[in-house]
Structure 1
C-alpha cells in the first residue's frame, strides 16, 4: 500500500541526533540518529524492550535524553516541555472521555486555543469528516466500535494541526481484519493532511504496510533504516533478516568470487551461487539466507541455472491462499517453503504430500549473504 506522502527532499524535519537515554545504569536508547522528512509516515519497529517507545516519549517531551539532541522543523526541542512542542500524540488506549460526545472529545484539545466556540465546533466537524465519522458526532464512545473509537482518537489528535503526530501502537487493540482495513485509512488520512506521522509498532506487517520508511530497533539501537522493500529484500544484518518476515538462515563460507559468488553451506550439504558481492572475500564466514517464498518446490527436477537441492516433505500446513512446506534434507536440516495455491483442487493446490520426494530451487539473486 504505502500511500503515505513522500518526504520533502533534503529537509530533515525531525532530527534525532546521537540520542541516548539511560535509566540508572540501564541503557534504553543508545546513540540513535534518525532524520525524518516533512510529510513522511515513519515507523519505529522492534520487539518489546528495544527502546522504540522510549524514543517516542523523548520526541513527545515526556522523557529527556541523557545525551543528544532532538530538532523539529529546525528548532532544538531537547528540553522543551511537551505542551510547548508542535506535536500531538495518539495513545494505544485512545483515552476518550466516556461522558463526552464524539464531537466534544474531538474538540476538547482546542478549548485553550484562541478561537470561538463555533470555530472549535467547525474544526471538530472537519476532523470527523476527515475520518468519515461526521454522522456519529452525537454518540458517546461506548456506542462506537473499536475501529470507530480509534478514528475518533485520531481525529482528536489531528484537530490542533500538529506538525508531527506520534502514534503509539495505534492498531494494537483491533482485531486482524479491522487492523488491516484501518491501516489503509491511516495512510490515506496522513496523505490528505501532509502531517508528519511517527508510528511505534512491534508488528512488522503493520510497519511495512503503513510507512514510507522503517527504523528497525534492537536493544536500544537502530540496526537499519529503509523502505519496506529495502529492509525485507536487502537486510544489512542477520538480526534484521530474521526479524522481518520468515527466513531460512544458515552458516556458510565464501568459496570463490568470479562473476558470481559461490558459498558453501555445510548444514545443507551444498554449494550455492549468489550475486557477486564486492564487500565479501573468499574464505570469509557469512550467514546464508533465503526467504521461503523465493524457493520453488516441485516433484520434478528444476531447469539449469538454479540453485537446486533435494529433500522430503516432513511437514505441511494449508492456509487457503498458500501452503507452508517443511522439507527435510539428507543432512537433517529443514528448509521452509511458502507456495502460493494458484489452483483450486481437492487437495488445496498442494504440489506434494507428506513423505514425498521433492526438488527445491531458487535463483542466485534470491540468496542473501550477511557478514553477521
Structure 2
C-alpha cells in the first residue's frame, strides 16, 4: 500500500504548474524590440520577449520600471513608439483593445458598486453574440470556478476583499480571452489572504488554460505564481527565467539584490581549477572557495554574493573550506526563523537567516547577543557576479 502523501506532496499534486509547468515551446506572445517613449522619457526600452501558451508569466520590478506600461501595450491601451507585438501568431500592434483576444484585471478591480456579483460578471458579455441562456450559463460557470456561487446576489460592499478579487477575475475570464493581464492583482489583500489567493489563482489558471501575465513588485508573489518571470529595471528586461534560475543564478548585482536578501562583498579572483574558483575577500579576512563562472582570470575584480539562508552559524569552528569567525551584534526572532547580524573582525556586518526547526526556549538559541560564533557556507552557495 502506498504511503499517504505529505502536505508538500499534496500541494504539488494539486498545483502541478507551480513545480513543473507543462508548457508548449512555440511562443504564444512575441514582443519584438518594443520601446515606449513619453516625450523625452523612455518608459520601455527595446524589450524583446517570448511567452508560451499556458504560462503564468510575471513582470517583476520596482515602481517606474516599465512593467505596467508594457502590460498596457499588450492590452492596446498604449501604442509602442517602436517594435511589434504578436499574440497567437497575429500582429496586434495596431489593433484597438476591443479587437484583441485579451482581457485585463485592474489593480482596483473596478467592480460596479450598484450591481450584484452576478451582474458584474455578466457585464462584459452583453455585447457578445450569445443568447440570454448562454450568458446565464457562462456566468454560473465562472462563479462556480471562483467558488462564489452562493454570493451571486450580493453587492461588492457585502463581500470581502478576497471575494471581490475573485469577482474581478471571474468577469475577466467570462469572455474567454486567450490572454489575461493582471496588474498587481493581490496588492490590496493582507498577507495571509494573499498567500492563499496565489494558489487559488494558479488552480484557476490551470483549469482554464488561459495564459496569464502578472505585473507585480512583490518578489514572493512572482516566485510563487510564475512558470517564469522577467525582472525589469529602467524599462529593460534584466533577466528572464524560472523562479529558481533567477533566485539561485542571478546574472547581475541588480537582479541578485532585487530578488530576496543577499550579502555582497568586493573580491579578487586568485585562481581557478575546473568548476572551483578561489577568491580573496578582504572583509571576510581570507580566501573563499566558490563555484566558478565562465571567463574568470587571476587578478580580476569580482563581486561575491551569499544569501542569508545559505550561511550556517556554529559555536565551534566547522571543518569546511569557507569558515570565518564573527560576533552576534543583533538578533530578531520572527517565529519560523531568526535573523542574526554577525560582525566580522573587519567590521563588516553579515545578515544570516536561521530556521527555527525545533521548539526551543530562550536559552537554547543557536547563538545569543555578543556570542562569538563561526559562519560557514558551501562553495556552491557563493555566487560570483561580474556586473
TM range (shorter): over 0.9
Q: Check whether the contact 2:283–2:344 (CA below 8 A) recurs between aligned residues.
A: no
Pairwise CA distance, 1:348: 7.6
Partner SS state of residue 123, structure 1: helix
Partner SS state of residue 250, structure 1: strand
Stretch moving more, 59-68 or 6-15:
6-15
Aligned to 2:310: 294
Deviations 1:230-282 (A, max 9, x none): 00000001100000000001111111112320011122222100123332221
Aligned to 2:17: 4
Question: Aligned Cα RMSD in Å?
Answer: 1.2
Taking structure 2 as the reference length, the TM-score comes to: 0.94
Q: Check whether the contact 1:14–1:37 (CA below 8 A) recurs between aligned residues.
A: yes
User: How far, CA to CA, are the matches of 2:122 and 2:223 in structure 1?
Assistant: 32
Q: Check whether the contact 1:299–1:359 (CA below 8 A) recurs between aligned residues.
A: yes
Aligned to 1:224: 239
Deviations 1:211-243 (A, max 9, x none): 000000001000000000000000001100000
User: How far, CA to CA, are the matches of 2:362 and 2:280 in structure 1?
Assistant: 36
Residue number among 43, 49, 68 corresponding to 2:83 in the alignment: 68
Residue number among 307, 314, 327 corresponding to 1:312 in the alignment: 327
Aligned to 2:293: 277
Q: Check whether the contact 2:292–2:384 (CA below 8 A) recurs between aligned residues.
A: no
Aligned to 2:253: 238
Q: Equivalent residues in 2 for 1:183-198 (5 A)?
A: 183-198=198-213
Deviations 1:70-129 (A, max 9, x none): 000000001110010000000010011111111111011000011111110110010000
Pairwise CA distance, 1:334: 0.6
Pairwise CA distance, 1:343: 1.9
Partner SS state of residue 54, structure 1: helix
Q: Are 1:327 and 2:357 counterparts?
A: no
User: How far, CA to CA, are the matches of 1:3 and 1:174 in structure 2?
Assistant: 24
Q: Equivalent residues in 2 for 1:1-372 (5 A)?
A: 3-4=16-17, 6=21, 8-259=23-274, 260-304=276-320, 306-347=321-362, 350-372=365-387
Partner SS state of residue 64, structure 2: coil
Q: Check whether the contact 1:299–1:357 (CA below 8 A) recurs between aligned residues.
A: yes
Pairwise CA distance, 1:7: 5.6
Taking structure 1 as the reference length, the TM-score comes to: 0.98
Pairwise CA distance, 1:346: 1.6
User: How far, CA to CA, are the matches of 1:278 and 1:76 in structure 2?
Assistant: 39
User: How far, CA to CA, are the matches of 1:145 and 1:53 in structure 2?
Assistant: 26
Pairwise CA distance, 1:349: 5.1
Pairwise CA distance, 1:9: 2.8
Q: Check whether the contact 1:311–1:359 (CA below 8 A) recurs between aligned residues.
A: yes
Pairwise CA distance, 1:3: 4.2
User: How far, CA to CA, are the matches of 1:139 and 1:193 in structure 2?
Assistant: 25
Distance 1:129 1:181, change over 3 A: same
Q: Which runs of 5+ in 1 are unaligned?
A: none
Deviations 1:139-183 (A, max 9, x none): 111100000000000000000000000000000000111000000
Q: Check whether the contact 1:323–1:339 (CA below 8 A) recurs between aligned residues.
A: yes
Deviations 1:293-351 (A, max 9, x none): 000001111123x3010000010000111100000011000111100112212218521
Pairwise CA distance, 1:8: 3.5
User: How far, CA to CA, are the matches of 1:245 and 1:8 in structure 2?
Assistant: 27
Q: Check whether the contact 2:59–2:213 (CA below 8 A) recurs between aligned residues.
A: yes
Runs of 4+ with >2 A deviation: 1-10, 276-279
User: How far, CA to CA, are the matches of 2:360 and 2:22 in structure 1?
Assistant: 46
